[in-house]
Amino acid sequence: MLEFFSRSAEQTRRIGARLGGMLQAGDVICLQGNLGAGKTTFTQGLAQGWGSLDTVSSPTFILVNMYRRADGGRMFHLDGYRLDSAPEAEELDLDSMLAEGALVVEWPERLDDLIPSEHLWIGFEHIEDETRQMKFHARGIRYDGLLDGIRQSIVGGS
Ligand SMILES: Nc1ncnc2c1ncn2[C@@H]1O[C@H](COP(=O)(O)OP(=O)(O)OP(=O)(O)O)[C@@H](O)[C@H]1O
Ligand SMILES: [Mg+2]
């Protein structure tokens, strides 16, 4: 587990960008936290660091956004917030998304069993004003590696 306190939206984007630079197709990143905790802000950094040609927007009304990169790479951004019925969730073909790109999920707890067992789980908490606590949990070897990468970039100064 890695704990980090971000003092601004910009700093949250910067940490996201570090992780984004390491993402590959098949990676699963879960962003858990209340409304306004910083999940979409973090995703903006992720997409930027990954090299997205598209702007990140909150997918609250459309469930999944897809971002493209110049080399044809894809990133999927899913928001489970509005997902309140099981049939709707079952229509989501996460496997075909993962075959094509990385998957970032806001409100992953609403997708329950659909989330692959190996993933990086990041919990966001609004502490006060512009301070957000971020807790990173790696589930699986791939994610231990990603966590080490984030740890090093934080230690190296962000
Ligand atoms: N340290 C910080 N990290 C992230 N966001 C911050 C921080 N300080 C202030 N903010 C502000 O808090 C808000 C976070 O909103 P954001 O859309 O990222 O939340 P969210 O977790 O995606 O919420 P939702 O569940 O509604 O999708 C933004 O307005 C952002 O500018
Ligand atoms: Mg959001």
Model-level pTM?
A: 0.95
Helix (H, G, I), strand (E, B) or coil at 110: helix
What percentage of residues in the chain have a pLDDT greater than 70?
A: 93
59 touches ligand 1 (CB under 6 Å): no
Q: What is the mean pLDDT of residues 146-152?
A: 96
* Per-residue pLDDT tens digits for 98-133: 999 999 999 999 888 899 999 999 999 999 999 999
Residue 128's alpha-carbon distances to 9, 15, 39, 158, in angstroms, are 13, 19, 16, 20
C-alpha 9 to ligand 1 mean position (Å): 7
pLDDT for 82 equals 76
What is the homologous superfamily of the domain 2-155 according to CATH? P-loop containing nucleotide triphosphate hydrolases (3.40.50.300)
Task: Tell me if 41 CB under 6 Å of ligand 1.
Answer: yes
SS3 8: coil
The pLDDT score that the predictor gives to residue 58 is 74
E strand segments, the chain = 2-6, 28-32, 64-68, 74-79, 101-106, 119-128, 131-139
Spell out the domain ranges in the chain: 2-155
Mutate to test the pocket of ligand 1, among 14, 41, 83 (most ligand atoms within 8 A of CB): 41
How many Cα atoms occupy the beta-carbon half-sphere of 128 within 13 Å?
Answer: 0
Give how far the C-alpha of residue 82 lies from the chain's centroid of Cα atoms, to the nearest Å. 17
Indicate if ligand 1 lies below 6 Å from the C-beta of 9: yes
Q: Is the CB of residue 43 below 6 angstroms from any atom belonging to ligand 1?
A: no
